[in-house]
Amino acid sequence: METTNTYRFFQCRVCKLSFDNRTDALAHEQAGGYRINIFGESRANHRAISMEVRGTRREDIKCGGRCLVATGPDCECQCGGEHHGRYAA
Ligand SMILES: [Zn+2]
Ligand SMILES: [Zn+2]
Ligand SMILES: [Zn+2]
């Protein structure tokens, strides 16, 4: 039987960092990001939005790059959504 999980995390729209909870996401917004981007715009408006992933655990589908950078909400692979979209750019 398939197992479906829902994962929620926050991702900054500017630097694409992801956060597991709202507290960390807010701290990031207030700090204006942890990293200065290549243009030196340290004052860019960092804004973390809430992301929701519906994951279906599939032992036969290896988790990898495609999952980590995914931008859609649905995941079908080994991680069951745990790593889904965490490195989406
Ligand atoms: Zn940021
Ligand atoms: Zn995965
Ligand atoms: Zn995935």
**Range(s) of the domain holding residue 47:** 4-77
Say if CB 24 and CB 74 are below 8 A apart: no
Is 55 a domain residue?
Answer: yes
Is 88 a domain residue?
Answer: no
Surrounding ion ligand 3 within 5 Å at CB are 67, 75, 77, 84
How many separate domains does the chain show? 1
Strand-strand pairing, 48-57 and 4-12: antiparallel
Ligand 3 mean position, distance from CA 24 (Å): 23
Tokens, residue 17: 């960092």
Of residues 44 and 77, more confidently modeled: 77
What is the reported pTM? Answer: 0.77
Number of other residues whose CB lies within 10 A of the CB of residue 45: 10
Is 89 a domain residue?
Answer: no
The answer to whether residue 77 scores a pLDDT higher than 90 is yes
**Highest mean predicted confidence (pLDDT) among 2-16, 32-46, 55-69:** 55-69
The residue whose two tokens read 């980590």 is 68
**Highest mean predicted confidence (pLDDT) among 5-14, 23-32, 41-50:** 5-14
Q: What is the percent of the chain where pLDDT is above 90?
A: 63
